Structure 1
Amino acid sequence: MKQRRSGTLRTGTGIRTALGLAIAAAGTLAMAPASTAVTPGTATLSFDCGSYGSGTATLTATQDGTAATISVSTSAITSPINIGANSVRSTLTLTKNGSGTTEFAGNANPAIPAGGQVSTGPLKGTVASGDSLEAASLKVVVLGITATCKATSPQSPGPFVF
């Protein structure tokens, strides 16, 4: 009979311990920040960069709370020479919620071979929940030379919504 009580006590303690861990885990999940996502994650559009050319661009957006990044790869600008990593300074201007603008900027880029299309980013910016952003222009500065590109088509499948 003593063993039975001991077994019952252990089982009861085990259940209480498991229940306590489950409650603690649920409380932790309730306090965790909500996961955020931007949709769509990737969009395309066309740019006209004047004498530097024109072509399509692919924009890839990510979000972490109010911090967001957009990476740009475009055939509108190609490099006449090899360009080292992190030597392109870019500013992407986007229309914000249909009026006003916001900018994403940075100087991160992979190495770009001569004749290669320009890729830049992640460009960093700040967003609020519900922001709708659509690319309007891109300024790229390489070796002191500035190329300014204007969007000539809307983003497809649509603006980024954070």
Structure 2
Amino acid sequence: MRHGIRRLAFCSAFAAGTLALAPTADAVTPTTATISFDCGSYGSGSATLTASQSGTTATIDVSTSAITAPISVGANSVKSTLTLTNNGSGAVTFTGNSNPAIPAGSPVSTGPLKGTVASGDSLVATSLKVVVFGITATCNATSTQSPGPFVF
């Protein structure tokens, strides 16, 4: 009986120590932000940015009413670059060519756009470049990112 109690105590202590040493999940806050873009002759409107992080790799999905598809666009055919400032200076880019199929007249969605981040990075979107069928739309931010920067 005494041996069983010792083993139970050891296993309980070991489990508690293991849980305390378990790595924490990477987190970005906020996970969703909005911003407005002006895309020149292609339009203007709001965008929703959704961020996630795994280690030093981060992804951002973009859905924006600033650009609508003039014709149906097939999946994985939109090439996008989202540029963000880091802590008020320096640029970080997120790129990708992944998108769902977009019906004609619908807002453009693109992502995940992938980029590299470091702990403490504070990123605010400044521009979005979207290339569809060889046509490039460059969009510039016209509002502040709300509720604030993505902090990794």
Whole-Å separation in 2 of the counterparts to 1:61 and 1:25: 33
Q: Could you tell me the TM-score, scaled by structure 1's length?
A: 0.89
Tell me the equivalent position of 2:150: 160
Alignment counterpart, residue 24 of structure 2, candidates 13, 24, 34: 34
Tell me the equivalent position of 2:85: 95
Q: Could you tell me the TM-score, scaled by structure 2's length?
A: 0.94
Tell me the equivalent position of 1:6: none
**1:15 counterpart = 2:5:** yes
Alignment counterpart, residue 115 of structure 1, candidates 82, 105, 114: 105
Counterparts of 1:9-88 in structure 2 under 5 Å? 9=1, 12-88=2-78
Q: CA deviation at 1:31?
A: 3.5
More strand by share: 2
CA deviations 1:45-69 (Å, max 9, x no partner) are 1000011000000001111121111
Q: How many residues align?
A: 152
RMSD: 1.2
Q: CA deviation at 1:43?
A: 0.6
Give, as a single letter, the amino acid of the residue that structure 2 aligns with 1:81: I
CA deviations 1:8-35 (Å, max 9, x no partner) are x2xx233222222223323332432222
Give, as a single letter, the amino acid of the residue that structure 1 aligns with 2:120: G
Q: Secondary structure at the match of 2:89?
A: coil
